[in-house]
Structure 1
Amino acid sequence: MIVVPGTVIGKRGDRLEGAYYFIGDYAVASSVAIKEVRGNKIKITPLSGIYIPNKGDIVIGRIIEVYPNGWQVDINSPYHGFLLIRDAVYEFVDITKTDLNNYYTYGEFISTCHPLGYTSIILPIT
């Protein structure tokens, strides 16, 4: 459901996440957004503005720097992401002998997802 600023989306005490504020005991949307209700959780995702990732989001990013222990990722947010080797590579990597550009390199796009809610899968986007 799409909501506009000022739309009542819930009440104080509800499990709310996203772009909202309170007027008295009612939570109202603070921007044009998508309202999702899953069980007893209400999530408000703005359709424009700065993106701040939430736990469980599928995130697409571009590698902007390769470090000895991982990759800095531009996720089009006020903050950059950092992808550690242990979260991206499912084998032992000797960082003293391995060039991480062999896995992901500058300019490459990747996507992360949490299919089971607790583990990441990193996928190169081709």
Structure 2
Amino acid sequence: MTIDELIENFGLFDEWEDRYRYVIDLGRDLEPLDDRYHTDAFKVEGCMSQVWLVPLPAEDGRLRFAADSDSAIVKGLAAILLTAYSDHTPEEILNTDLEAIFTRIGLDQHLSPNRRNGFFSMVETIKASAKARVGAPS
């Protein structure tokens, strides 16, 4: 799924309760994260829930990410981020305006401040991985 398809899917729901259920469903669809990644090395700081985010460099220089959380809604938010960032080059990741995507989906007005902070902690973790890969050999 592309980010445009995701945004379109959010537009199908009139009620925010339905959109939250969709976010949770997105999280359920994530590939299970191997237990070896449930460590402090991959834990995202700044989230109230436990969140693990793993960068997985691909041979073509693009980055892929895997994620998990002990919270269903946060796992769904991670799925949104994976849709926005996985399988992109580090440069594309650094140039993605997630705030605009966040606004188009409507999440900017429907997440608590704590969840919003955690969401953007995940974004910063992804961008740090991309920055570390800029200029690195593929």
TM-score (norm 1): 0.23
Structure number with the higher helix fraction is 2
Mark the structure with the bigger radius of gyration: 1
Structure with larger RCO (C-alpha < 8 A, sep 6+):
2
TM-score (norm 2): 0.22
